[in-house]
Amino acid sequence: MAETRDFAAETLFNVKGFVAVVTGGGSGIGLMATQALAANGAKVYITGRRVEALEKAAKEHQPASGEGKIIPIGPCDVTKKDDLARLVETIAEKEKSIQLLVCNAGVSGPKAEPENTDAEDLRARLWDNEEFSDWQSNYQTNVTAVYFTTVAFLPLLQAAMRPKGQLEPYSASVITISSMSGIMRHAQGHFSYNTAKGATVHLTKLMSAEFQKTGIRVNSIAPGYFPSEMTAKESDERQKSHVPEEKIQEKGHVPLSRPGREIEMGMSILYLARNQYVNGEIIAVDGGVLNVLAGR
């Protein structure tokens, strides 16, 4: 039975000794996840296509103390099997196992607001502003790459398992970063993105059910509006982004009237990384947006 001291935050969310891999870890939500894990003792490998961004993020955000560490590794394009195989091989040369994989890399795709009431105008707006290739690229990065990234790391994840009687029993886990956009019925002008994120949500459930036989948990965080390159269109010299509260307030469907805070994303990452009794869940961290906009 747990003693009161066991409920201390530093015990509940302690990830000392963890080895984690975060795709798209050089900015936005990937960097938030990285900071939360490293600040609490994890060794975090961050990867992505832009080596400069990875190195800058690691340099600017290394923990000031403790065992945690941020290690840039790349480049890696998660839509390419050769890159993923090389990434796994490189990490396997350094680590016997990993306790956590965060599949965060993603793209937003084109935007075309379906605001026209005349069908001819609506057709022209949507037809002229999107291409088949846009949808294919969106799906490839936001869904297919999540699948192949997870599959590539399955052996290293399973190697982290600890049997009963050996310290605290532990099974490694995967956290996919989907989106509230994959749950709501409001297109937001992003038909291809929202459709792809809906597929990410279902893929997470499929992988959770099928991979639990290996002892690996799979859950997803469905973020609302958080500061990232996707929402702010840029990062500063420390690989951080800023979204003004006014921009969120203009949307009219965010009850808290502000973007999500970076530490709120960090809390969610640590919860799913540590709680062994959570599997196959899609956790919306959206400020209550899905209470306003219809979901499934």
Asked if 36 and 270 count as a contact pair (C-beta separation under 8 A), the reply is yes
Structure tokens at 296: 């499934």
Asked if 190 and 108 count as a contact pair (C-beta separation under 8 A), the reply is yes
CB atoms within 10 A of CB 95: 16
Q: Could you say which of 139, 197, 208, 228 is catalytic?
A: 197
Q: Could you say which of 27, 108, 173, 178 is catalytic?
A: 178
Asked if 252 and 201 count as a contact pair (C-beta separation under 8 A), the reply is no
Task: Say whether 81 is catalytic.
Answer: no
CB atoms within 10 A of CB 2: 7
Task: Say whether 225 is catalytic.
Answer: no
Q: Could you say which of 193, 208, 220, 241 is catalytic?
A: 193
Q: Report the Cα 191 to chain-centroid distance in Å.
A: 20
Cα 146 to Cα 126, 131, 170, 277: the distances in Å are: 27, 23, 23, 23
Task: Say whether 247 is catalytic.
Answer: no
Which residues are marked as active site? 178, 193, 197
